[in-house]
Amino acid sequence: MDAAETHPTRAALVQAALELFGQQGFDATSTRQLAERAGVNVAAISYHFGGKAGLRSACAQAVVSRISQAFGAAMDSDMPQSPAAAADQIEAVLRRLVSLLVAAPDTQGMVAFVLRELSHPGEVTDTIYSQVFAPRHAHLCRLWAIATGQPPEAEATRLTVFSIIGQVLYFRIAQPIVERRMDWAGIGQEQAGQIADVVVRNLRATLERHQI
Question: Domain segments of the chain: what residues?
Answer: 62-210
Q: What is the pLDDT of residues 35-90, one digit of tens each?
A: 999 999 999 999 999 999 999 999 999 998 888 877 766 566 678 989 999 999 99
CB atoms within 10 A of CB 44: 18
Average pLDDT value for residue range 152-164: 96
pTM strictly above 0.75: yes
Alpha helices in 28-129 (DSSP H): 31-38, 43-49, 52-71, 83-97, 108-119, 123-128
- What per-residue confidence (pLDDT) applies to 162? 95
Q: What is the CATH number of domain 62-210?
A: 1.10.357.10
Residue at 126: amino acid letter? D
How far is Cα 169 from Cα 171, in angstroms, rounded to an integer? 5
209, containing H or E segment? helix 189-210
